[in-house]
Amino acid sequence: MRPVTLGPPPAEALAVLASGRMDDYPEKPVLRWLLGIFRNKCAYCESETDSPEREHYLPKGVGLWPEHEFDWQNLRLSCHGCNQIKEVMNGRSKDACRHPLDPCAAGFDPAIHLRAREVRGGMGLITLVGIDGAGKETVAPDGLDLNREVLASRRAERWRAYRDLRRQARELRAQLRARPALHGEARHARDLRQIAEALRKVRSDDGEFVGVFRLSRRR
């Protein structure tokens, strides 16, 4: 999970919200806006998703917070899995609702609540561990279940790819140091540039699970 600033909604949404004509709710512009803000990744688990969904942080079910249904500050981009888990809250009372960590909360710092740990002998499996009560509640199976198998294996896949890139970069640099003449060879320089660019993307906010990897002390 990484902190995200929502910023102003798209102009189309503002116009509809101002007019109060909710039948014209601008689904597509709002979803496009969310995709940009959350960089095509689920706000909660950070997986890239083919079927992004508009999700309400405060559940809008009967007796809950329906007044925030059209509040864009309450909108998050979510994968189907996290949205389904959050959906359960709609059937609960306000008191029984759990509030997972919110990446859009002011001053949100995931490192206060969560740590990522590589499982020994786990082929790159990264487990998220709650440090405080809010972190533990978020990670737990009845919270957002952030260690569910599909997520753990996708994180492991990305983590292995990242380590592979770093190894390739190290080897190429060592070769170039050992044989300085290679510096002049366009192919090696291009390979190194491509690897550096791929590494930059993995480490940037665009990278899938970048927040999780940043929480790992063994980067």
Q: What is the binding site for Zn ion (CB under 5 A)?
A: 42, 44-45, 79, 82
Smallest gap from Cβ 77 to Zn ion, in A, equals: 9
- In one-letter notation, the amino acid at residue 213 is F
- In one-letter notation, the amino acid at residue 148 is R
Smallest gap from Cβ 82 to Zn ion, in A, equals: 3
Residue with Cβ nearer Zn ion (42 or 97): 42
Residue with Cβ nearer Zn ion (42 or 126): 42
- Alpha-carbon gap, residue 24 to 69, rounded angstroms: 14
Smallest gap from Cβ 175 to Zn ion, in A, equals: 40
What are the residues facing 118 on neighbouring strands? 126
For the chain, give the number of residues.
219
Smallest gap from Cβ 112 to Zn ion, in A, equals: 21
Residue with Cβ nearer Zn ion (82 or 192): 82
Smallest gap from Cβ 138 to Zn ion, in A, equals: 12
Smallest gap from Cβ 18 to Zn ion, in A, equals: 31
Q: How many CB atoms lie within 10 A of CB 164?
A: 12
What are the residues facing 55 on neighbouring strands? 76
CA distances from 207 to 41, 89, 151, 202 (A): 9, 29, 15, 4
Terminal CA-CA length for the chain = 16
Contacts of 122 (CB under 8 A, 6+ apart): 156
Residue with Cβ nearer Zn ion (192 or 210): 210
Residue with Cβ nearer Zn ion (82 or 101): 82
Answer for the pair 44, 135: CB distance below 8 angstroms, yes or no: no
- Nearest Cα neighbor of 83 from 73, 72, 95, 75 is 75
Residue with Cβ nearer Zn ion (12 or 48): 48
